[in-house]
Structure 1
């Protein structure tokens, strides 16, 4: 009997529906057996920075929750984009995850060409925490506040530089906005992470940085670095006596750094849901909250959908800031 277009359409739809159900069943079975081997958290910066500290704090507790080792692996370079590219191209099986950050929403506009699309190629799981950035100088530097720093920069252009965790990172953009609002000119020195950055700051090779509080807090407490202002709209509980840049005179200044977990885009939804559930329980626990307070971080632990919304919003916001600051990286 000839096959009519209507019958062909129904058969095609039936086959498609059967295939979809089969894939869903396979995905469900896959998710039920997951995890059965170690999971890797990729940190896109050198060891010793906030991203690394958060990854290890989360990974330790996630190991206990999932019953499999969670390994932290650093893949630094190119403003955190090397690590992001690596995870975006990894097998989407829930075993390779990225510790992403606000830097990745900035890089989308800063880099003229990236080998991945942050919103298309990576699936948000949850945000771990937000950490304020802080303007710090070596304690040997003869400046005690923002006004004195601006005067010092203008009087000593040969020493006028600042370090960041790489081109296109939040620290880089904060430095550019700082120059615009203060009418100063600074040389940007890009590092692969907070570890090497802090080393040169302590050694006097660079004048200042806008790093997150976590890696510089021990040096501040030891009296080796002097905090002048935090970059967020409100003061940090970790540095309650330090004013915000807005309070110090740079009106409207409000940039902080969030960190979160992302998986390759095609990771089965069941695995993403399981990861979110386990991570949110950890992040919202009193023990993890205390650990975050100790390093100057504010825990978040939101849904993957909320994280996706934040990424879209941040990408749009920083696109304008990047354009206004004329920041580009080839």
Structure 2
């Protein structure tokens, strides 16, 4: 009888812990959720994340706070989240640069497996942008000049996705720009319109306002967009590959599955909201909502491609 009593006590204890854990996850979130953007304010990652955070906050009835923690080409903020408590209250704005490119092209304290992909909200086509009164009227003009003399190009870090993609484009087109690195695409655009650099690789959320205001022009983009009629694509110049950035939300590896599921379900709702869709459209971001195993498999494929590219560059 004593042995059975002890076994029952153990079983009851295990059940109690399980029920308590389930209850805790079911109540998520019970306090503010911090979303770290590993770049400065005003860039495409910052803007797209704030739209998501505002919408999710309203749906959850719980604060979702966006915090900019820039530095090291996105490494500082991303490392902070990789080492954060695995409770779902510290998330990271993830994208091509900080989780797929940088860990392959430079030594970082984290890699792709340090995180759990939660959702992807948007994609943004890369473009090469110049000041409105730039002597480069076409991308052909730009290529010709870059082959004959030094042409400066803004990006956001030596190991960032912007620089890596720009280098792939330049290599195929046969020119080598001099990169001028800033903290964000927004900062690069300020340098372009201010006449401090000849060009910048950037995304619509950062260059869109400058083009609409007549301060800048797009010479070429990854894909055609109604908002920028007449702008050719890289493919039109025989450049192979897809050159786009994307914005998503990751959690540190080890976060409870129930938390991930909760964030996915609430994102499903907000990504159907016309106001959210319009906000993304206005900033030039293409809605590309994804989650789940198939998306994660695609991410891993891209991560491996970047790894191969990095190894070739070291040879």
Do Structure 1 and Structure 2 share a fold, with TM-score over 0.5?
Answer: yes
Aligned to 1:117: 111
- Please say if residues 27 and 270 of structure 1, whose CA atoms lie closer than 8 Å, have aligned partners that are also in contact: no
**Separation (CA, whole Å) in 2 of partners of 1:285 and 1:144:** 39
Aligned to 1:297: 285
Aligned to 2:81: 87
Aligned to 1:266: 254
User: What are the superposed Cα offsets for residues 77-97 of structure 1, whole Å, 9 maximum, x if unpaired?
Assistant: 222121111111111111111
> How far has the Cα of 1:269 moved from its partner?
0.8
Stretches of 4+ aligned residues off by more than 4 angstroms: 17-24
Pairs aligned (count): 306
Partner-residue secondary structure (3-state), 2:230:
coil
User: What are the superposed Cα offsets for residues 193-245 of structure 1, whole Å, 9 maximum, x if unpaired?
Assistant: 123222211212211111111110010111111101102xx312332321101
- Please say if residues 284 and 299 of structure 1, whose CA atoms lie closer than 8 Å, have aligned partners that are also in contact: no
**Separation (CA, whole Å) in 1 of partners of 2:61 and 2:230:** 42
User: Which residue, out of 213, 225, 242, partners 1:222?
Assistant: 213
> How far has the Cα of 1:319 moved from its partner?
2.2
Aligned ranges for residues 79-158 of structure 1 at < 5 Å?
A: 79-103=73-97, 104-111=99-106, 113-119=107-113, 121-157=114-150
Aligned ranges for residues 48-59 of structure 1 at < 5 Å?
A: 48-59=42-53
- Please say if residues 78 and 167 of structure 1, whose CA atoms lie closer than 8 Å, have aligned partners that are also in contact: no
**Separation (CA, whole Å) in 1 of partners of 2:207 and 2:53:** 22
Partner-residue secondary structure (3-state), 2:158:
coil
Aligned to 2:204: 213
- Please say if residues 238 and 295 of structure 1, whose CA atoms lie closer than 8 Å, have aligned partners that are also in contact: no
- Please say if residues 49 and 195 of structure 1, whose CA atoms lie closer than 8 Å, have aligned partners that are also in contact: yes
User: Quick one: structure 1 residues 146 and 26, their matched pair in 2 at CA, closer, same or farther if it must change by over 3 Å?
Assistant: same
User: What are the superposed Cα offsets for residues 74-123 of structure 1, whole Å, 9 maximum, x if unpaired?
Assistant: 01122212111111111111111101001120112101x2111222x211
Aligned to 2:271: 283
**Separation (CA, whole Å) in 2 of partners of 1:285 and 1:24:** 36
Could you say what the CA RMSD is over the residues aligned between the two structures, in angstroms?
2.1
**Separation (CA, whole Å) in 1 of partners of 2:258 and 2:162:** 35
Aligned to 1:70: 64
User: Which residue, out of 26, 30, 44, partners 2:38?
Assistant: 44
Runs of 5+ unmatched residues, structure 1: 1-10
Runs of 5+ unmatched residues, structure 2: 1-6
Aligned to 2:228: 239
Alignment of 1:167 with 2:158, yes or no, is yes
Alignment of 1:315 with 2:303, yes or no, is yes
- Please say if residues 34 and 65 of structure 2, whose CA atoms lie closer than 8 Å, have aligned partners that are also in contact: yes
> How far has the Cα of 1:124 moved from its partner?
0.9
User: Quick one: structure 1 residues 255 and 321, their matched pair in 2 at CA, closer, same or farther if it must change by over 3 Å?
Assistant: farther
> How far has the Cα of 1:18 moved from its partner?
8.6
Partner-residue secondary structure (3-state), 2:70:
coil
What TM-score do the two structures reach when normalised by structure 1? 0.86
User: Quick one: structure 1 residues 186 and 61, their matched pair in 2 at CA, closer, same or farther if it must change by over 3 Å?
Assistant: same
**Separation (CA, whole Å) in 2 of partners of 1:288 and 1:20:** 43
